[in-house]
Amino acid sequence: MRKFGLIGFPLSHSFSKKFFTEKFLNEHITDCEYELFPIEQITLLPKLIAENVELEGLNVTIPYKLPVQTYLNEIDEAAEQIGAVNCISIQRNNGKEILKGYNTDAYGFEESLKPMLDERHTKALVFGDGGAAKAVKYVLNKLHIPFVVVTRTATSNSILYDAVTPELLKDYTVLINTTPLGMSPDTETCPDIPYEALTEAHLAYDLVYNPEETTFLAKSAANGANVKNGLEMLYLQAERSWYIWNK
């Protein structure tokens, strides 16, 4: 039996386990299983892999996307530039495990964003600068879309929300929320920007997908913007993991 799984802590609920369990069932894949591995410390990873010799791949979630890199033999270019790993392939050669790290969030975001882009979408605003923003910034650089990061606290690499004026929004037509604002149960919250300045030339993308229409997306759509949530990105990054484990 081929085994795959998710490491993180805690792991109270998991999109990944539900996704892969249903995938194996729907596609009649009978020789694979997906398990949750809630390890309390990343130092337990080598023990986990040694004890599960059927393990061929892992997804990685909070809080291990950064510290897991210490335990990898290789890291692909995207994951290295982003500075975060959320997928590991495990190959065994003469009793030795070879672990390679990937970032499938970038793939998921890029493939879900590209179909929405047109000639009007030349500059972006990225709301938030936490872990979720890393893959977004990598993709924007890859697509040659200049961007400005917007944060609640001033930094040398960002602007504050009160700097997002109607004038600024005339030039910055791609708006990407990487913050948890609007996520259930705090569904009334959203990035504090002048939504009335948005037009049909704007694209609003929210990495949040619960609820499916956040306040950020609802306000953007009400002013004519094209909108999308992070659900397709989630599915695409999961499928990318499956591709990596089987290539």
Q: 24-68 pLDDT, tens per residue?
A: 999 999 999 999 999 999 999 999 999 999 999 999 998 999 999
Q: What's 19's domain CATH number? A: 3.40.50.10860
Same domain, 135 and 228: yes
Same domain, 63 and 149: no
Residue where a domain terminates, one of 102, 117, 136: 102
Residue where a domain terminates, one of 86, 102, 118: 102
Tokens for 38, please give them.
């809630």
Residues 6+ apart with CB under 8 A from 64: 7, 8, 9, 42
- Which residue out of 17, 18, 23, 65 is catalytically annotated? 65
For 239, phi and psi rounded to 5 degrees?
A: -65, -35
65 part of the active site: yes
Quote the pTM value.
0.94
Same domain, 171 and 124: yes
Sheet arrangement for strand 2-7: 32-37, 2-7, 55-60, 87-93, 96-102, 74-75
Residue 126 has pLDDT above 90, yes or no: yes
Q: 157-196 pLDDT, tens per residue?
A: 999 999 999 999 999 999 999 999 999 999 999 999 999 9
- The closest alpha carbon to 207, from 124, 105, 103, belongs to 105
Rounded Cα distance, 204 and 226, in Å: 6
Same domain, 50 and 73: yes
- Given this model, what pLDDT does residue 123 score? 98
Residue 218 has pLDDT above 80, yes or no: yes
Q: Does 83 map to a domain?
A: yes
Same domain, 120 and 208: yes
**Domain boundaries, position 120:** 106-233
Strand ranges (DSSP E) for the chain? 2-7, 32-37, 55-60, 74-75, 87-93, 96-102, 124-127, 147-151, 158-160, 174-177, 203-206, 226-229
